[in-house]
Structure 1
Amino acid sequence: MRDLMAELKQLRLHGMAAAWGELLEQGNVDESTARWLLENLLAAESADRAVRSVNHQMSAAKFPAHRDLAGFDFDGSPVDRKLVMQLADMNFTGAAHNLVLVGGPGSGKTHLITAIGVSGITHHGKRVRFYSTVDLANALEQEKAQGRAGRIAASLLRLDLVILDELGYLPFSQAGGALL
């Protein structure tokens, strides 16, 4: 049997938890009907919070476009499908390992890393941020020029996965490279 009081407190619905306890103490309510109603309301609240969390994380990730692994043509690419699916499980983030995708233009690196990031958010509850390397280097330079150095770095520390795209494709200043 579900511990409704614990679920209410876990969702930070302390007022409802107190009211539920008082309602049961009064004893003039059909407990099975009230329990059924509360269980369904808790399930709906939990589902809604999960959806809102995923939507927020997807927005915060700032992907250039939504990509998923189902949309990648593994048959027309030399990419190892099994390895990519393993990476989509996001186990490498727990060990703080880096992932580097190397290939020529048009080989699907951005698609794959975006899809891995989307999988991390939607299936594993990870916090992800996508950057064009040039944009990040420029943002770091601007931050330093404004005397606020370290804020971006501090925000990156709270993430599970930071995606740097187009490293080596577009030039950026030497100062930006040093800050990176």
Structure 2
Amino acid sequence: MRHDPAAGALVVMLRGLRMYGMAQATEELTEQGAPAFEAAIPVLSQLLKAELAEREIRSIVYQKKAARFPAYKDLAGFDFSCADINEAMVRQLHGGTFIDHAENVVLIGGPGTGKSHIATALAMQAI
């Protein structure tokens, strides 16, 4: 039984792309020790990395489009000095740990205090 870390990485990427038949074939070719397959591993790895990156980019673009944000907002464009907002808390929320803990965020304030800007910036970061 042969074990090649590069071929193992190929199998992981193929399964991540839901290409289970190709992942099984990769395992079998690794077991056989086919020289032509071993020579092709670096090229296949690059192609799979490119596909994973492309799918991630398409997912981000789709999620932003589906969210229908009125405009792009981020925290770099927000002036904390003009608003009575706890900057440290907003920056902590920007890290996204509240999502991992399934916690809600409620922004309360009068008109023009930056609630929409902060909400959009948090959502953009989450995407």
- Class of the TM-score when normalised by the shorter of the 2 chains: 0.7 to 0.9
- 1:27 maps onto 2:26 in alignment: no
Deviations along 1:27-72, one digit per CA (max 9) or x if unpaired, are 25162x3111011111111111111111111112222221111111
- Bigger fraction of residues in helix: 2
**Structure 2 contact 29–37 (Cα < 8 Å) conserved:** no
Quote how far apart the aligned CAs of 1:8 are.
0.9
- 1:61 maps onto 2:67 in alignment: yes
Q: Which consecutive residues of structure 2, in runs of 5 or more, have no partner in the other structure?
A: none
Alignment CA distance shift 1:9-1:30 (3 Å): closer
Number of residue pairs matched by the alignment: 120
- Bigger fraction of residues in strand: 1
Quote how far apart the aligned CAs of 1:105 are.
1.3
Q: Which consecutive residues of structure 1, in runs of 5 or more, have no partner in the other structure?
A: 122-180
Q: Which residue is 2:97 aligned to? A: 91
Q: Which residue is 2:51 aligned to? A: 45
Q: What is the TM-score with the length of structure 1 in the denominator?
A: 0.58
Could you tell me how far apart the structure 2 residues matched to 1:12 and 1:52 are?
17
Could you tell me how far apart the structure 2 residues matched to 1:12 and 1:120 are?
24
Alignment CA distance shift 1:94-1:38 (3 Å): same
**Structure 1 contact 7–42 (Cα < 8 Å) conserved:** yes
**RMSD across aligned C-alpha pairs, in angstroms?**
2.2
